[in-house]
Amino acid sequence: MLKFFNRNKQNTIDELDINNLPKHIGIIMDGNGRWAKKRGLPRSAGHRAGAKVLEQITRDAGHLGIRFLTVYAFSTENWKRPSDEVEALMKLLSEYLDDYKRLIGDEDIRVKIIGSYDGLSEEIIAKIKNIEEQTKNNSAITLNIALNYGGRDEIVKACQKISEKIKDGSITPENVTEDMISENLYTNYMPDPDFIIRPSGEYRLSNFLLWQSAYSEFWYSNILWPDFTRDDLIKAIIDYQKRNRRYGGV
């Protein structure tokens, strides 16, 4: 897969250890608004530029051999934004969901949407189901788009599902395990993220993959998401490969 990358002098790809790639990368795609502001453009132009970068980075991650990429596109808290911005974001998401070829091209990318359907229009929900169906047999990389996603909301929903089982008597409270909680999260078909990237100079999770990130490695940068490149992704992964993951051991 690495043949897709140009091994020229600016590229640090030779330092990459393909035997130690993160299986699952999470990206908090932040900084679109500031990118647009710097250029005197409306915030929606920043979101559009950010979506283009997502197309490219998904392909790059697939070519590198990353199996799961989870990107934060819209949080449960983003509804607080002015209605014109929320509308512009939903329109953009809707366009991409509609025309999934635009997002994945001819690549072997499976698209899944994680998050709550609460508050999403029927039209968007139908499009989510369609893109998941159309891409379900693709297997090189799974792109999970976190849409109307909140880590706390996800954990609450898992607790509700488990509580139902306690109520109907199929389990007792003592039977509740960490695995049971993981199995009731949106992310139950993938491993926890090994590596979480947040551009834009903010040093927080903003309600992204709270349960799943217990032992994730983090990488922060001042780059604004629409400026994020394949080389930044490679540099971040090289940095990840220098980390010593101990999981509480020695």
Verify whether residue 78 is a known catalytic residue. Answer: yes
Verify whether residue 153 is a known catalytic residue. Answer: no
Residue with token string 């947040």: 198
Closer residue to ligand IPE in complex, CB, 42/65 = 42
**Min dist. Cβ of residue 83 to Mg ion (A):** 17
**Min dist. Cβ of residue 118 to ligand IPE (A):** 17
Among 25, 29, 30, 112, binds Mg ion (CB under 5 A): 30
Residue 191 makes CB contacts below 8 A (sequence gap 6+) with 23, 24, 68
228 binds, among ligand IPE, Mg ion, none (CB under 5 to 8 A by kind): none
Work out whether 30 is an interface residue with ligand IPE (CB under 6 A). yes
204 binds, among Mg ion, ligand IPE, none (CB under 5 to 8 A by kind): ligand IPE
- The C-alpha atoms of residue 78 and residue 64 are separated, in whole angstroms, by 31
- The C-alpha atoms of residue 19 and residue 213 are separated, in whole angstroms, by 22
First-to-last alpha carbon distance for the chain, in angstroms, is 34
Among 25, 28, 141, 145, binds ligand IPE (CB under 6 A): 28
Among 54, 57, 89, 236, binds ligand IPE (CB under 6 A): 89
Contact region for ligand IPE (CB under 6 A) — 67-75, 164-172, 210-218, 235-243?
67-75
Among 13, 21, 25, 29, binds ligand IPE (CB under 6 A): 29
The closest of 28, 149, 146 to 79, measured between CA atoms, is 149
Return the structure tokens found at 16.
């990459």
In eight-state DSSP terms, residue 170 is S
187 binds, among ligand IPE, Mg ion, none (CB under 5 to 8 A by kind): none
Among 1, 20, 202, 222, binds ligand IPE (CB under 6 A): 202
Work out whether 27 is an interface residue with Mg ion (CB under 5 A). no
Task: Give the interface size with ligand IPE as a residue count (CB under 6 A).
Answer: 17
The closest of 122, 62, 123, 72 to 98, measured between CA atoms, is 123
Work out whether 78 is an interface residue with ligand IPE (CB under 6 A). yes
Return the structure tokens found at 114.
């994680």
Q: Is the dihedral of CA 105, 110, 114, 120 positive or negative?
A: positive
- The C-alpha atoms of residue 230 and residue 168 are separated, in whole angstroms, by 50
* Strands 68-75, 109-114: pairing kind: unpaired
Q: Which residues are near ligand IPE by CB under 6 A?
A: 28-34, 72-75, 78, 89, 200, 202, 204, 206
For the annotated catalytic residues, the residue numbers are 30, 78
